[in-house]
């Protein structure tokens, strides 16, 4: 029988191999950008049309190729990057297989222009399905430009297999992010269908992350830096409160190469343990530097997986250094004791001249003596030109709900007595009605004993009911900002804001424009200071993202809860006597004073009988 084995012609072999290297347009983007980096470019431009289906072009200012090399570069296993098998173990380049250009050339139309610095003229080569159709000298800038057109033109099945432009573009952007994050010292620009999608100047790593993921990212980054004998780690993790519902912000780079490693990812999750909400994923942008000898990147053709010599050690180091960073930057628990919001100047007072304080003392004043005076404390501060401290609390206008008379009418579960719980006359004699404990609890005497209020939860309840009211009657009053300011949001966050816009306006927000990546704020609810706005809106977006799968989702209720949570006075904040009393009064004017909007106890009581028992 005759021999039947034949060697496949190159162009067939190339087409088969191309299937491995080039799965979709994004694979071409990756290969071309990596070649530009290997050529030591300092600026790289990516031009894409129709999600890469009609054009992918990468222009670099790297070292270029000679005419011979330009021709050779499209041959299979043609590489300038390794010479022997040993070189594989000290790899400092992205490429080394010499397959990419040959594979791409087998399945697309290619136009290459390249020039080395020392040459007068450059080379231009056109290739269609592995066939060189022309080669000539051209005038071209230093560096290389490779345009890949009509991908899979000769493999209709593959072409039809491509996903929608949105999906393919998403993959391209992912690759672009990975490559540009791994090389902040290189400038990158990306255009899609003629418009600029990213413009990333050469920068440090933090700026690169921020330039890609938006201005607001900056505040959420916690640096991680660690150097041991086997491993150097640098980069950032995101603060837990900014964690995403998706894994879109998780990046490991090993020796400047993006890798996927479920194992190392686990190490990060372990470091975040106890700090993350369910269903959230920490953001991380981490660069690991290891001895090239200790890794094997040869196990996967598209090279996103990697084998480490000593994975267990890496795991332990990674976990502990991330944990250390989170601890060092006081992430756990997240409490802001630093700033006293009482010291913030409300906007409308900012530019006013100081006037001599005028103090009028009403010596007969007793906040609990009758309905009228009690109302002074509980009335809604939205409504009048009030002292700044008053705007700290938004009480409930008690019309139609429950009239706040005085404490003597409040009933407590543990209060078995039917008469007044405050010891009536003795109150007016002792001015000491409330006392703040550890800047956290407010202690007050009631007739049956003692009342202990959690200031943060109590204020949440007060704000919540007030906000709900503003939202339903749409009467929120706004303070106009003298200097409107912009806040930046990501593409996923903006639609959520857009959706809540009307409700937010009912609470007193005024937005002038909602643009591509930012929102201009012209006015805020009257009792909110400017520097809290970003936090309030971010918290709100996160809460909405968290809640949407829940069918009972009510935008109004969620908004009120979320804003109340962000705006409420924090534990750790010291309150004046008047503020304490006002808070207590406002709390008991609420419809449901016993629990916070999230159903947590706002106050407890202890009767004299209970105390007596303790002293038995």
| The one among 14, 27, 35, 479 contacting Mg ion by CB under 5 A | 35
Using the minimum distance from each CB to ligand ADP, give the nearer residue, 142 or 520: 142
Q: What is the DSSP letter of 402?
A: -
Instruction: Decide if residue 31 touches ligand ADP (CB under 6 A).
Output: yes
Instruction: Decide if residue 36 touches ligand ADP (CB under 6 A).
Output: yes
Block residue for tokens 């949105």: 166
Q: Which of residues 57-76 bind ligand ADP (CB under 6 A)?
A: 60, 62-65, 73
In the chain, what is the straight-line distance between the N-terminal and C-terminal CA atoms, in Å? 110
Instruction: Decide if residue 144 touches ligand ADP (CB under 6 A).
Output: yes
Q: Shortest distance, CB of residue 50 to ligand ADP, whole angstroms?
A: 23
Instruction: Decide if residue 122 touches ligand ADP (CB under 6 A).
Output: no
| The one among 28, 101, 110, 541 contacting ligand ADP by CB under 6 A | 101
Residue 184's nearest CA partner among 247, 95, 251 is 251
Instruction: Decide if residue 103 touches Mg ion (CB under 5 A).
Output: no
Using the minimum distance from each CB to ligand ADP, give the nearer residue, 45 or 323: 45
Q: Shortest distance, CB of residue 31 to ligand ADP, whole angstroms?
A: 6
The count of residues interacting with Mg ion (CB under 5 A) is 3
The count of residues interacting with ligand ADP (CB under 6 A) is 24
Q: Shortest distance, CB of residue 61 to Mg ion, whole angstroms?
A: 17
Instruction: Decide if residue 100 touches Mg ion (CB under 5 A).
Output: yes
Judging by beta carbons within 10 Å of its beta carbon (0-12, 13-18, 19+), is residue 50 exposed, middle or buried? middle
Return d(Cα 103, Cα 125) in angstroms, integer: 16
CB neighbour list of residue 524: distance below 8 Å, 6 or more residues apart: 347, 478, 479, 481, 508, 509, 510, 530, 533
Instruction: Decide if residue 35 touches ligand ADP (CB under 6 A).
Output: yes
Using the minimum distance from each CB to ligand ADP, give the nearer residue, 78 or 230: 78
Question: Which among 46-54, 92-100, 172-180, 448-456 is the span making contact with Mg ion, rule CB under 5 A?
Answer: 92-100
Structure tokens at 99: 């397959």
Residue nearest Mg ion by beta-carbon distance: 95
Structure tokens at 334: 């997240």
Using the minimum distance from each CB to ligand ADP, give the nearer residue, 100 or 540: 100
Return d(Cα 272, Cα 322) in angstroms, integer: 8
Using the minimum distance from each CB to ligand ADP, give the nearer residue, 39 or 275: 39
CB neighbour list of residue 346: distance below 8 Å, 6 or more residues apart: 388, 391, 479, 529
For helices 530-547 and 555-567, the axis angle rounded to 10 degrees is 140
Neighbour order of strands in the sheet with 510-514: 478-488, 518-525, 510-514
CB neighbour list of residue 466: distance below 8 Å, 6 or more residues apart: 380, 394, 395, 396
Site string for ligand ADP, 590-609 (x = CB under 6 A): --------------------
Residue nearest ligand ADP by beta-carbon distance: 95
Structure tokens at 197: 């999608």
Using the minimum distance from each CB to ligand ADP, give the nearer residue, 22 or 568: 22
Neighbour order of strands in the sheet with 434-437: 434-437, 441-446, 449-454, 603-607
Judging by beta carbons within 10 Å of its beta carbon (0-12, 13-18, 19+), is residue 595 exposed, middle or buried? middle
Q: Shortest distance, CB of residue 109 to ligand ADP, whole angstroms?
A: 17
Return d(Cα 446, Cα 415) in angstroms, integer: 9
Instruction: Decide if residue 434 touches ligand ADP (CB under 6 A).
Output: no
Instruction: Decide if residue 217 touches Mg ion (CB under 5 A).
Output: no
Residues of the shown chain interacting with ligand ADP in the complex, contacts defined by CB under 6 A: 31, 35-36, 38-39, 60, 62-65, 73, 78-81, 95-102, 144
User: Where along the sequence are the contacts to Mg ion (CB under 5 A)?
Assistant: 35, 95, 100
């Amino acid at each position: 029988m005759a021999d039947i084995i034949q060697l496949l012609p190159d162009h067939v072999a190339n087409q088969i191999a191309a299937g491995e290297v080039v799965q979709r347009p994004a694979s071409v983007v990756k290969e071309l950008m990596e070649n530009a980096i290997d050529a030591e470019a300092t600026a790289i431009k990516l031009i894409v049309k129709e999600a890469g289906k009609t054009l992918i072009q990468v222009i670099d200012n790297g070292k270029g190729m000679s005419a011979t090399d330009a021709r050779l570069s499209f041959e299979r296993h043609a590489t300038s990057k390794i010479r022997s098998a040993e070189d594989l173990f000290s790899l400092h380049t992205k490429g080394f297989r010499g397959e990419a250009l040959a594979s791409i050339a087998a399945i697309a139309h290619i136009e290459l222009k390249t020039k080395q610095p020392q040459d007068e003229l450059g080379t231009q080569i056109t290739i269609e399905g592995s066939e060189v159709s022309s080669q000539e000298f051209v005038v071209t800038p230093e560096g290389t430009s490779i345009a890949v057109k009509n991908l899979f033109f000769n493999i209709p099945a593959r072409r039809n297999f491509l996903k929608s432009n949105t999906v393919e573009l998403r993959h391209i952007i992912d690759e672009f992010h990975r490559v540009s994050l791994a090389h902040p010292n290189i400038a990158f620009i990306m255009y899609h269908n003629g418009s600029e999608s990213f413009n990333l100047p050469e920068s440090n790593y933090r700026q690169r992350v921020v330039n890609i993921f938006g201005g607001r990212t900056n505040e959420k980054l916690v640096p991680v830096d660690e150097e041991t004998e086997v491993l150097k780690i640098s980069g950032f993790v995101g603060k837990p409160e900014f964690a995403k519902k998706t894994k879109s912000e998780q990046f490991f780079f090993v020796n400047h190469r993006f890798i996927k490693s479920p194992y190392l990812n686990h190490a990060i999750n372990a470091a975040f343990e106890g700090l993350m909400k369910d269903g959230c994923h920490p953001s991380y942008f981490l660069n690991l530097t290891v001895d090239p000898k200790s890794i094997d990147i040869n196990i996967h053709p598209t090279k996103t997986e990697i084998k480490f010599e000593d994975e267990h050690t890496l795991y332990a180091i990674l976990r502990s250094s991330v944990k250390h960073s989170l601890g060092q930057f006081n992430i756990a628990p997240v409490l802001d004791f630093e700033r006293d919001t009482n010291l913030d100047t409300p906007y409308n007072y900012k530019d006013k001249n100081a006037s001599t304080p005028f103090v009028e003392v009403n010596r007969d004043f007793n906040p609990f003596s009758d309905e009228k005076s009690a109302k002074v404390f509980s009335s809604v501060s939205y409504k009048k030109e009030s002292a700044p401290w008053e705007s700290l609390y938004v009480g409930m206008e008690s019309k139609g709900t429950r009239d706040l008379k005085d404490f003597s009418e409040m009933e407590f579960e543990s209060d078995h007595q039917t008469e007044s719980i405050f010891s009536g006359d003795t109150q007016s004699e002792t001015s000491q009605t409330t006392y703040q404990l550890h800047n956290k609890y407010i202690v007050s005497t009631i007739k049956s004993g003692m009342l202990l209020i959690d200031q943060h939860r109590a204020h949440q309840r007060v704000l919540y009911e007030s906000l709900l009211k503003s939202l339903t009657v749409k009467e929120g009053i706004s303070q106009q900002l003298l200097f409107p300011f912009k806040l930046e949001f990501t593409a996923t966050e903006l639609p959520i804001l857009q959706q809540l816009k009307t409700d937010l306006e009912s609470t007193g927000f005024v937005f002038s424009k909602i643009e591509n990546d930012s929102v201009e704020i012209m006015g805020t609810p009257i009792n909110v200071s400017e520097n809290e706005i970003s936090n309030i809106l971010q918290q709100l977006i996160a809460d909405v993202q968290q809640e949407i799968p829940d069918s009972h989702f009510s935008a109004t209720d969620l908004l009120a809860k979320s804003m109340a949570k962000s705006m409420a006075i924090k534990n750790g904040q010291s309150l004046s006597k008047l503020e304490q009393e006002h808070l207590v009064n406002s709390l008991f004017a609420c419809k449901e004073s016993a629990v916070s909007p999230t159903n947590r106890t706002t106050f407890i009581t202890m009767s004299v009988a209970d105390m007596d028992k303790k002293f038995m």
